[in-house]
Structure 1
Amino acid sequence: MSTFSIRDLEHLSGIKAHTIRIWEQRYELIKPKRTETNIRYYDDRDLKLILNVALLKENGVKISKIAEMTEGEMQREVLKLTERNLHHPEQIHALTISMVDLDEERFEKIISTNILKLGFEKTMMNVIYPFLSKIGILWQTGAINPAQEHFISNLVRQKLIVAIDGQYSVASDKAKKYVLFLPEGELHELSLLFADYIIKSRKNKTIFLGQSLPFIDLEAVYDVHQPDYLLAVLTTVPGPREVQAYVDRLSKHFPDSTILLTGYQVIGQDLETPENVEIFTRLEQLITFVEENSFTLA
């Protein structure tokens, strides 16, 4: 079972720690546990409760009325809201609860409903990516455990692969060619998979090389395919001390291609970007770039 501080509850729910303490005292809405050294902490059940409270309150239910609800009544009201309300914060709250519960059925229902209403790409941009960003921070700070993070990441990965398979078509000989890869040691591939979807859905060619690609193998693929673009996501590697050298190496070894980079290790860093290197800080920039540089019959 995971344990949470009151600050973790604040970050997950958006409710200020001061407000949570007031609710504890006034309504006995949530009761913290204490360690042997008298430090307050909360468990999975407390987290689900505060997420449900936050969702109901955001939809106009008064806290006094929420405090009178049983746990079952609260859950039923939340389910009604998430099934009819496609506002993004509500969906992200619901996904967070499904993550805490390791509830695949609920996750599937939320995502399928959003895809039906919004389409796959908007669901990724407006619901799944903000949610993944949120849990990524919580995982790094220890607020959620690796099993919960892996559970959600693998479900999202499955959705991406199905969506990519659905984009298969014979591209024109004039279509742009992209090689997509992660540097050696890099394993976080969800953003790369979504980039593959974006590029293919605009009728371009992709060569998807995936995780942890040694540089020598990238050179071999490049020699065969001579792509227009190389796209990489640098989330954890190379580190701050090595990233400039890696960017320069890409530029030097592949001078006839445009190098497209994104990820934590390049965004907001004081890097010198060679002429054939572009850094994207947001997914929307990648989408715009791909659309502006795609071949069209018009």
Structure 2
Amino acid sequence: MPVITELARPAQPLGQALQGDLFPIREVSRLTGINPVTLRAWERRYGLIQPTRTESGHRLYSMHDVETVREILGWIDRGVAVSKVGKILAKTRAAREAPQAMPGDSESGDYLPWQGQLKRAVGGFDETHLERLYGQIFSSYSLSVVFQDILMPFWRQLAQHQEPYGHTSEWLFFDQFLRSRISQRLLLQRGSQPRPVLLAALAGQCRELELLVAALMLGSAEMEVRVLALGQPFDELTLVCEKIKPQALVLFSNHAPAPELPRRLNRLALTLECPLMLAGDVAELAQDSLSASPVGCLGNDGRLMMQRLRQFLSGTLDT
């Protein structure tokens, strides 16, 4: 393998780096906050990362490897054991690579320049520039790519306060910007449907923006998705559904399921007059434990959630 001379200079910020750039383990540790010992353990024990090697045996990590480390950390923060992360990553990537992209959608590496521009706009608290970028991204990609591959990965990096992406104030600025824009889009989706789909978060298991993005992915002009406020009591969902009479109730979470969750969901399903479904990361993690239940799992992939919701409501999707 040829010697990579770029390693003699400081690594570029992720938003500005080229697709072919490679980083030594110390730089990956600085960018992600994960120490080198842990990075090596994730490689040896679980095969979660596969860096390339120099002729002398030193590890070199690609941009894809750095993003994988961030994904792993995200799953661990949501309560998933590291030994189970590999299977989840493989399943999630298989869903993302399914042939459902719109014309103009590109490979994930092409999204990095957009994230670099977002970093500059957010770092300068420049709402005018951010608004322009937001419009350009929407005009170039499908809805699922816009949020799943461009906006939300950058939002999560800001939320983790990881180098080189900045500080709490930048995250708050970007979070507020996205919440206001998505809320506007959800209002535009409201039609004359007498029975919406209700979307509620499992208590303490997602942020408001994640819930709003899920509503945007699930809804359309033909299907209104009404979002219940964060903090909605689980024990009062039956009462809410009795009053609103929705087509379905979808519960959302981005955390690992608690051991008692399948039992609670089955009990809730028995009290409802509408179908009960689960969406978000929890739907992937709890799918096996709910396989014999009436609860439908929509998954965590924006490209598939709406399709599965429609299939479930039409009776063509198995629980």
Change (3 A) 1:268 1:185: closer
Deviation at 1:116, TM superposition (A): 3.5
1:170 and 2:189 correspond: no
Unaligned runs of 5+ in 1: 1-5, 22-31, 33-53, 55-85
Change (3 A) 1:140 1:289: farther
Corresponding position of 1:17: 23
Conserved? CA contact 2:158–2:167, under 8 Å? no
Conserved? CA contact 2:15–2:117, under 8 Å? no
| Rg comparison, structure with higher value | 1
Conserved? CA contact 1:8–1:143, under 8 Å? no
Letter of the 2:232 counterpart: L
Conserved? CA contact 1:196–1:206, under 8 Å? yes
SS of structure 1 residue aligned to 2:249: strand
Corresponding position of 2:168: 146
Conserved? CA contact 1:243–1:265, under 8 Å? no
Conserved? CA contact 1:192–1:232, under 8 Å? no
SS of structure 2 residue aligned to 1:210: coil
Conserved? CA contact 2:114–2:150, under 8 Å? yes
Corresponding position of 1:115: 138
Change (3 A) 1:121 1:250: same
Task: Find 2:117's aligned residue among 94, 98, 102.
Answer: 94
Change (3 A) 1:117 1:239: closer
Fraction of identical pairs, as percent: 14
1:277 and 2:296 correspond: yes
SS of structure 1 residue aligned to 2:227: strand
SS of structure 1 residue aligned to 2:189: coil
Letter of the 1:113 counterpart: Q
Cα RMSD for the two superposed structures: 3.9
* C-alpha distance in structure 1 between counterparts of 2:121 and 2:216, whole Å: 25
SS of structure 1 residue aligned to 2:231: strand
**What is the TM-score normalised by the length of structure 2?**
0.56
Q: Equivalences for 1:130-209 in 2 at 5 Å?
A: 130-136=153-159, 138-139=160-161, 144-171=166-193, 177-186=196-205, 188-209=207-228
* C-alpha distance in structure 2 between counterparts of 1:220 and 1:94, whole Å: 46
Letter of the 2:133 counterpart: I
Task: Find 1:247's aligned residue among 265, 286, 289.
Answer: 265
* C-alpha distance in structure 2 between counterparts of 1:159 and 1:126, whole Å: 18
* C-alpha distance in structure 2 between counterparts of 1:9 and 1:184, whole Å: 35
Change (3 A) 1:204 1:252: same
Task: Find 1:267's aligned residue among 284, 287, 312.
Answer: 284
Change (3 A) 1:270 1:117: closer
**Count of residue correspondences:** 222
Conserved? CA contact 1:204–1:294, under 8 Å? no
Unaligned runs of 5+ in 2: 1-9, 31-62, 64-108, 315-319
Conserved? CA contact 1:191–1:233, under 8 Å? no
Change (3 A) 1:268 1:217: closer
* Residues 268-292 of structure 1: per-residue CA shift (max 9 Å, x gap): 3575112333241311121212444
Deviation at 1:194, TM superposition (A): 2.7
Corresponding position of 1:224: 243
